[in-house]
Structure 1
Amino acid sequence: LPSAPVPAVPAKPAPGLHARMAEIYGILQQTSPKWLPIPFGDWMPDLPDLFNPGATVAKNVIPAARSYRPLGALQTTTDALDGAALGAAIGRDKSGSYYNYAGDAAKLYEVGAAGVTDKSKGGGYSTGSDDVWEFQLFDQAQVTRLIATNFTDPVQGIDVGSAGLFADQFTSTLKPKARHIAAVREFLVLGNTNDATDGDVPYRTWWSGYKDPLDMDPDAQTQSDFEDRPTAGDVQRVVGGVEYGLIFQQQGITRMSYSGGDTIFQFDSIDRKRGTPIPNSVIGHGRRVYFISEEGFFFTDGTQSHPIGANQVDKTFWKQFDVNNRKSVSSAIDPLNKLVAWAFPGSGGVLKIYFYDWQDRRWSEAEVDLEILVNSTSEAFTLEGLDAVALDSGYDTTISVNEASGQTIISVTTVSGISVNDTVRITLNDATIHQTNVDAVGASDITIDVGLPSAADAGNRVVRTTIDVLTPGLDSAQWRGGDLLFGAFDTAHKLANFDGANLAATIETGEIELNPGFLSKLVKARPLIDGGTITAQVAGRNRLIDAVVFDAAENLDAIGEVGMLNESRYHRLRAKVAAGGTWQHAQGIQVQASSMGTR
């Protein structure tokens, strides 16, 4: 019998374009070098370079969550002091206006955009070669007093914002000098003192009468007294507070708490192991006080000390720093970026700044020439001082009268940057000053209603005007000052802020083995930095005993990549952003690499 026909097998349809491309992509994935992300982790120079999970270099940047951000160059805001700055402070008067003060070896100054004013007492001062100025505000009934000490000279005081000069502060029989100063509750407190009776007593803490910073005579009625604690060494700093004070000595930290009665203050040791050898490293912010001990960087919350630099920067700092340069250390707070900053002379005389981000617990460093780090404030302005910041010029005027209102309208040539409702001051030829708003801005002029009573009066009085453009207006809190600023005195003795053009930044990764057990060929890199002129380079080696040598730096191409050809066992990457570039975040670097075998 004939066999049944075999049914035909339908032909397999040709694969579509999508399927064919997926197949090709899969093959490419298996054969092409892979892109591997390497984040810029925490700056941890204390750890070995090999397998360091963070960055080995983070220079001229500030730490942030999951990135590093740019650091601006110093930009001066004032005239110069006569000599190198040895201390600075912020003063606030009873009206709420703020002022900056500073001192050099011979003088004390009020410092502002309008100029630097010598506020020294007659004859000036003779600050010792190992000493600096410290300042403390003290509220009194009618005024706020700024009190300053440099140990060599009598303690000085001035009413904040006054036209007067600094003068000897104490009116009591005993007039101790001191290296350190603070305010604890309603008492002025001195540390490391000298007086006519006992001479130098470096381990002494001495406080004034209750609410009386003029009286330092020990007395049960006024509650003035002193406490000697020689076993902990010299008093290195006193940090004040509304609840308690902290006394930093060479070998310990003590909390002084008001108790009243015969004892007046109770003294409790909160750290018997560590104090500080560097007085100017101690800086408070909120309930924390940061300091450098012989072990490294710490903060105390008033009950115990907590390490913040262990396995990160402690060993690197002590390798770079010579304690004989302790006078040259300074510290300040950057409140906006949540940073504590310490400046110190490093190896080879290079001025270093270490930044610590207290929110994300990250570090970075910078190299900037400066005298001291300081906190300053946006200053209060007088009418005269506003001339320095206002857009100020003279204009020919045309006079017209609004018949309906009887008011005088002054029209002047348009000034770039003036808008409707901007606050302006009009200075008439007879020196009469009017504060008002811009009513209209035309193509070639602006119109301002001065409110003079008649056209005849206007015609007689106004020939030329001076217009100062102030935004916001004179009643704004901005002109009272008070914004806390992070800055420094530069090497020209001028107060400056870190808001200039961005500094040249460098970040290096730890050393990694891209394919464990095998050599790897690193082909390309993509710096994950969102602006500026960026270069990248790689260093490779096969043995840990080999020198680390970076290949030449290469620029980004049109698609954001940097060509690299480096075949090694271990690799590390470096990214740089040129000075003056505009960028916000440096997050890491991606690399494209492939395995090249075991030898």
Structure 2
Amino acid sequence: MPATPLAPYAPDVASVDATVSAVARNVVPRADGYAPILSPVPITIALPAACRGAVAVISPRFGTPVYFAGTGTKLYRSLGRGEWVDVSNAARTYSMPTDDSWQFALYGMQLVAVHLGAPPQVIDVDIEKQFRDLGAGGAFPPPRARLVAVVREYLVLGNLASDPNAVQWSDIGDPASWPLGVQDGHDGDIQSFPDGGAVTGLAGGDGGLLLQERTTRRMDFAGGEAVFGFTVLEENRGAVSPSAVARVGGRVFFVDRDGFHAFPFAGSSSTPIGAERVNRFFLSRVDPNRIAATLAIRDATGPRMFFAYRLKGAPAADPTVLGEAVVYDWLLDRWAGPVTLSIRAGLVAATPATSIDDIAGSLDDEGQLSLDDATYAGGVPALGMVTSDNRLALFNGDPLEAEFETPDLRPFLPNRAFARGVRLSSDADDWRAAVGGRESLKASDAPVYARERPPNVEGWSPCRVSARVHRARFRIPAGTTWSYATGVEADVVEEGGR
């Protein structure tokens, strides 16, 4: 039989004589199939306590990545070369609620960090050694809030401790000043929404997209005494939590109670990107009591989003660990999954700068790069996550173990078929295959797989499986070098009806 392309991942669809597959594990979509996901490589020591949020920023002055992470009681900074340095406000105790996490926004060179258990914190990324209270000592200090974003020249806070249904913005160009009402040259103000529930997502830019529990609104600059106007875009559509919302260019990706959605930033309605593809799979796997812990993480290495979630039935002793993810490529409009991981936070990351102490060999060695070579500056985009052991890791190691499954195939109905071998179209140095068969599509009639085999010298994984319904499972072992897997060939002949 000619090569059949590896099917797009859509576990919600019945995988019978279909053009979709139910398994594309530890891979990302390509236009012609799938590519590997690289394993995480730790670049720091462990934080002293469970990570409750992290962010990577590029130093405005030096152009190198700087990493910040928060626990329930402290804030830390790292240059990605091992240590975490405590940069907490020495005059402040952070007491984070159990269901909250640190949220960050960069206003110029000032990084603002918020959660409901403390006033907003701020640090100059390049100059200051500790966070401080935003607006401390000023006439108009900011409120405590769960969300923060930059909209035009305003810093905006959402889900206020005093009013979860409200947003409040600073004076223009002055994130330290938070007056209520336009007065005496000030234009900071507050807006509370009587319907839609608590504010659960806030995406900034030239305007703002505001997601509540049950309503989506646009935040547009109006000028004058109003400053901002708010327009309802969708009712009965919102986000489960701040961590489940991410803006990427002109799109805002988010998770609602029914699955995955994307909202064009300049549009008027969302697109259900997971419906009849991965939503039912996700809802069957996620802990329903911890769906708000879902993370929307942009993959800086490509046009992809990772949605990581806490698995149903995971040990209750450590509820902040997320054990699985699905991947969405928005340019291809294709999914892959599941991805096996164990993380607490995700971030848009970049490789750190190289210290002179970390340069292998001597600077006088032949072929050694000069110290001003761009390689040492870091800044190469990378997918970053804080693993379950609280270390910052970049996903730039060896490939994870990958697995694909074909749909159930019935090539000669009503007659049986005899499978003699299968072949994977891939540049993988090593792969294995197992072919399964069954007589019907009944749930009680599970496929019986032949022994997994590597390919022979002709590139075929041999098998001897006689059945009416066949399925092939391919595995590329962890650490194997490969860049693509595109299709499957099958050596199948028709048998009789018995």
Cα deviation for residue 325 of structure 1 reads 1.2
Cα separation, partners in 2 of 1:266 and 1:380, compared to 1, 3 Å: farther
Residue from 259, 263, 272 that aligns with 1:307: 272
Higher helix residue share: 1
Matches within 5 A, 1:317-396: 317-349=282-314, 351-365=323-337, 366-379=339-352, 386-391=355-360
Cα deviation for residue 327 of structure 1 reads 4.7
Partner of 1:581: 480
What TM-score, normalized by structure 1, do the two folds share? 0.77
Q: Which has the larger radius of gyration?
A: 1
Q: Distance in 2 between matches of 1:569 and 1:419?
A: 61
Unaligned runs of 5+ in 1: 1-34, 195-199, 395-411, 424-469
Q: 1:394-451: CA deviations, max 9, x gaps?
A: 9xxxxxxxxxxxxxxxxx7xx3xx328x42xxxxxxxxxxxxxxxxxxxxxxxxxxxx
Q: Distance in 1 between matches of 2:270 and 2:459?
A: 46
Q: 1:96-118: CA deviations, max 9, x gaps?
A: 52422111111111112332111
Q: Distance in 1 between matches of 2:288 and 2:198?
A: 15
Conserved? CA contact 2:287–2:313, under 8 Å = no
Partner of 2:79: 112
2:111 maps to amino acid: L
Q: Distance in 2 between matches of 1:133 and 1:324?
A: 20
Cα deviation for residue 380 of structure 1 reads 5.4
Q: Distance in 1 between matches of 2:427 and 2:87?
A: 47
Q: Distance in 1 between matches of 2:41 and 2:58?
A: 24
Q: Distance in 2 between matches of 1:252 and 1:561?
A: 54
For structure 1, which segment, 178-187 or 527-536, has the greater mean C-alpha deviation from structure 2 after superposition?
A: 527-536
Partner of 1:566: 465
Conserved? CA contact 1:97–1:481, under 8 Å = no
Conserved? CA contact 1:217–1:225, under 8 Å = yes
Q: Distance in 2 between matches of 1:172 and 1:52?
A: 65
Partner of 2:50: 84
Q: How large is the Cα RMSD of the aligned pairs?
A: 1.9
Cα deviation for residue 348 of structure 1 reads 3.5
1:176 maps to amino acid: P
Cα deviation for residue 323 of structure 1 reads 3.5
Conserved? CA contact 1:280–1:326, under 8 Å = no
2:63 maps to amino acid: S
Instruction: Give the 3-state SS of the residue equivalent to 1:317 in structure 2.
Output: helix
Q: Distance in 2 between matches of 1:92 and 1:501?
A: 26
Do structure 1's residue 64 and structure 2's residue 33 form an aligned pair? no
Q: Distance in 2 between matches of 1:246 and 1:46?
A: 30
Instruction: Give the 3-state SS of the residue equivalent to 1:157 in structure 2.
Output: strand
Q: Distance in 2 between matches of 1:523 and 1:380?
A: 53
Q: Distance in 2 between matches of 1:93 and 1:500?
A: 25
Do structure 1's residue 39 and structure 2's residue 5 form an aligned pair? yes
Cα separation, partners in 2 of 1:519 and 1:351, compared to 1, 3 Å: same
Q: Distance in 2 between matches of 1:295 and 1:525?
A: 38
Q: Distance in 1 between matches of 2:233 and 2:376?
A: 43
Instruction: Give the 3-state SS of the residue equivalent to 2:346 in structure 1.
Output: strand
Q: Distance in 1 between matches of 2:417 and 2:473?
A: 18
Q: 1:470-514: CA deviations, max 9, x gaps?
A: 3x43xx4x5555443211011221111111121111100111111
Matches within 5 A, 1:14-413: 35-98=1-64, 99-114=66-81, 115-122=83-90, 124-139=93-108, 144-170=109-135, 171-194=138-161, 200-220=162-182, 221-241=185-205, 243-302=206-265, 303=267, 304-349=269-314, 351-365=323-337, 366-379=339-352, 386-391=355-360
Instruction: Give the 3-state SS of the residue equivalent to 2:163 in structure 1.
Output: strand
1:361 maps to amino acid: D
Do structure 1's residue 494 and structure 2's residue 397 form an aligned pair? no
Conserved? CA contact 1:131–1:327, under 8 Å = no
**In the comparison of the two structures, how many residue pairs are matched?**
479
Residue from 401, 408, 413 that aligns with 1:511: 408
Q: 1:366-414: CA deviations, max 9, x gaps?
A: 1112222221233457xxxx223323659xxxxxxxxxxxxxxxxx7xx
Partner of 2:418: 521
Conserved? CA contact 1:506–1:575, under 8 Å = yes
Q: 1:287-318: CA deviations, max 9, x gaps?
A: 10011122321100132211211221011111
Instruction: Give the 3-state SS of the residue equivalent to 2:290 in structure 1.
Output: helix
Conserved? CA contact 2:254–2:296, under 8 Å = no
Instruction: Give the 3-state SS of the residue equivalent to 1:326 in structure 2.
Output: helix
Conserved? CA contact 1:85–1:102, under 8 Å = yes
What TM-score, normalized by structure 2, do the two folds share? 0.92
Residue identity over aligned pairs, in percent, reads: 28
Conserved? CA contact 2:343–2:387, under 8 Å = yes
Q: Distance in 2 between matches of 1:380 and 1:167?
A: 27
1:231 maps to amino acid: D
Cα deviation for residue 549 of structure 1 reads 2.5
For structure 1, which segment, 302-311 or 480-489, has the greater mean C-alpha deviation from structure 2 after superposition?
A: 480-489
1:354 maps to amino acid: V
Q: Distance in 2 between matches of 1:319 and 1:283?
A: 23
Cα separation, partners in 2 of 1:481 and 1:525, compared to 1, 3 Å: closer
Matches within 5 A, 1:394-433: 415=365, 418-419=366-367, 422-423=369-370
Unaligned runs of 5+ in 2: 315-321
Instruction: Give the 3-state SS of the residue equivalent to 2:43 in structure 1.
Output: strand
Cα deviation for residue 336 of structure 1 reads 2.2
